[in-house]
Amino acid sequence: MALRKIRNQYIALFLLISAIFGIGSAFALYQNYSLYRESQKEELIREAYASNAMLEAVLADASKILDIARPKIEQALNAGTLNKESAYQILKDSHIIFNSFAANTPPAVGCLY
């Protein structure tokens, strides 16, 4: 009788410790997953800001190239000689002109450069 009582106490203690360990492990896994998800979110936000800055720079450069090309395109359009090839050549020449000026300017300062 005493052995059965001791055995039942050991089984109950084992089940209690196993339950506590299981709950603790589940909580630790949940916390780890939450921290991982939060770090991934912060990384995505950081990459989005960096991409936004690069995209703004590219759009600004494209705007400057179009400003350079606009008079030639308008002149060709008014003359009636504007077609795909001539428009491409005008944009290509404007890009070369822009790059020659952009190469002489110092690079932007920041975490991306």
pLDDT at residue 105, as a whole number: 62
Q: Residue 8: inside a domain, yes or no?
A: yes
Q: Residue 109: inside a domain, yes or no?
A: no
By the 8 A CB rule, do 53 and 112 touch? yes
Q: Residue 73: inside a domain, yes or no?
A: yes
Q: Residue 97: inside a domain, yes or no?
A: yes
Q: Residue 101 and residue 67: Cα distance in Å, rounded?
A: 14
Q: Residue 106 and residue 50: Cα distance in Å, rounded?
A: 20
Q: Using alpha carbons, select from 28, 21, 91, 26 the residue that is nearest to residue 63.
A: 91
pLDDT at residue 112, as a whole number: 46
pLDDT at residue 101, as a whole number: 77
What is the average per-residue pLDDT within 21-42? 98
Residue 85 has pLDDT above 70, yes or no: yes
Share of the chain above pLDDT 90, in %: 67
> Cα–Cα–Cα angle for 100, 103, 106, nearest 5°?
145
Whole-model pTM: value is 0.56
Domain that holds residue 82: 2-102
Least confident of 5-19, 43-57, 99-113: 99-113
Check residues 99 and 21 and name the one with the higher pLDDT: 21
Residue 2 has pLDDT above 90, yes or no: no
Q: Residue 112: inside a domain, yes or no?
A: no
**Band (31; pLDDT cuts 50, 70, 90):** very high
Q: Using alpha carbons, select from 61, 57, 71 the residue that is nearest to residue 108.
A: 57
pLDDT at residue 81, as a whole number: 87
Count of domains forming the chain = 1
Q: Residue 107 and residue 113: Cα distance in Å, rounded?
A: 8
Which residue reads 């299981």 in tokens?
Answer: 22
